[in-house]
Amino acid sequence: MDGDFSENVIHLQVTAEYSKPTVTSSCPDDFSCTVTCASHGGYPSTRIMWDVPKNRNTSRQMWKVVNNSEERIPGTVMFTSSSTAYFNCSKGEMKFLSCFVGDIHSDRFSVCKYRTQKRLRHNRL
C-alpha cells in the first residue's frame, strides 16, 4: 500500500463583513466641513471609498480625501477602516453622499447645509 495515496489541495478564503459605515462631520465655519467615515470588524483589510454624485457642487475641486486608515484590531485578525474627506462649502450644500467598504454602504448624508441655510436667510432680508 505504500505510495497508493492521493493528495488533495484545499484553498480556504476567510472573510469577515465590515460593519455598516458610520459618518461623523465637523463644520467649524461657513466654508468647509470634514467628514469621517469608519467601519470595523472586517477582514481582509479594505479601504473605505466615497460615493459623491457629480454635479456643480461636488466637482473634484470641491472635495478631497485627506486621510485613509486601515488598522488591525488588537488581539484579533479583524480590521477597522476609516477615511476622512474635506469638503469646500463655498457653493453650498452637497447632497446624497455616502461612503462604503466592500459592498456595505453608509446611509446617505449631506454636508454644508449651514452655508446654504444662511445664504437663504440673507437673501430673504
CA–chain centroid gap for 39, Å, is 8
In this prediction, residues 99-106 reach a mean pLDDT of 96
Query: How would residue 123 be classed by pLDDT, with cut points 50, 70 and 90?
Result: very low
Query: Domains in the chain: how many in total?
Result: 1
Establish if 118 belongs to a structural domain: yes
In this prediction, residues 20-48 reach a mean pLDDT of 95
* pLDDT above 70: percentage of residues in the chain: 85
Establish if 83 belongs to a structural domain: yes
Query: How would residue 120 be classed by pLDDT, with cut points 50, 70 and 90?
Result: very low
Residue 112's CATH number: 2.60.40.10
Which residues are registered as beta bridge partners of 35? 25, 85
In this prediction, residues 75-87 reach a mean pLDDT of 96
Owning domain of residue 69: 22-124
Burial label for 23, CB within 10 Å (0-12, 13-18, 19+), is middle
Asked whether the predicted pLDDT for residue 121 surpasses 50, the reply is no
Establish if 50 belongs to a structural domain: yes
Establish if 13 belongs to a structural domain: no
Establish if 84 belongs to a structural domain: yes
Establish if 42 belongs to a structural domain: yes
In this prediction, residues 44-64 reach a mean pLDDT of 85
The region that residue 61 occupies, defined by phi over 0 for left and psi between -120 and 50 for alpha, beta otherwise, is alpha
pTM for the full predicted model: 0.80
